[in-house]
């Protein structure tokens, strides 16, 4: 295994090794010091904005089902 010059996000150690490839084809790394596995350029998953979350939650609380909310959301995105 080849040693990489980067820091572990958990313990900040620079003793890192390659550890295979994940399902998305990105390189996995493992910290030899603490054992944490990570990818070097992690992108936070994009979710819905707070307004959309609030609208969907309000519709659910008012009795609309998940499929109805999904259809409504698709219509709002289309317009």
Q: What is the DSSP string of 2-41?
A: -EE----TTT----EEEEEE-TTSPEEEEETTT--EEETT
Q: For residue 4, what pLDDT is reported?
A: 46
Q: Which tops the pLDDT comparison, 13 or 1?
A: 13
Q: What is the mean pLDDT of residues 28-41?
A: 91
Q: Which tops the pLDDT comparison, 3 or 7?
A: 7
Q: Which tops the pLDDT comparison, 43 or 10?
A: 10
Query: What's the pLDDT tens digit per position in 36-77?
Result: 999 887 667 777 888 888 998 999 999 999 999 888 888 666
Q: For residue 11, what pLDDT is reported?
A: 92
């Amino acid at each position: 295994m080849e040693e990489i010059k980067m820091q572990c996000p958990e313990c900040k150690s620079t003793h890192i090794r390659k550890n295979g490839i994940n399902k998305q084809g990105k390189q996995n790394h493992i910290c030899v010091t603490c054992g944490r596995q990570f990818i070097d350029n992690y992108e936070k998953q994009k979710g819905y904005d707070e307004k959309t979350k609030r609208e969907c939650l309000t519709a659910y609380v008012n009795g609309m089902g998940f499929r109805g909310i999904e259809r409504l959301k698709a219509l709002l995105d289309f317009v």
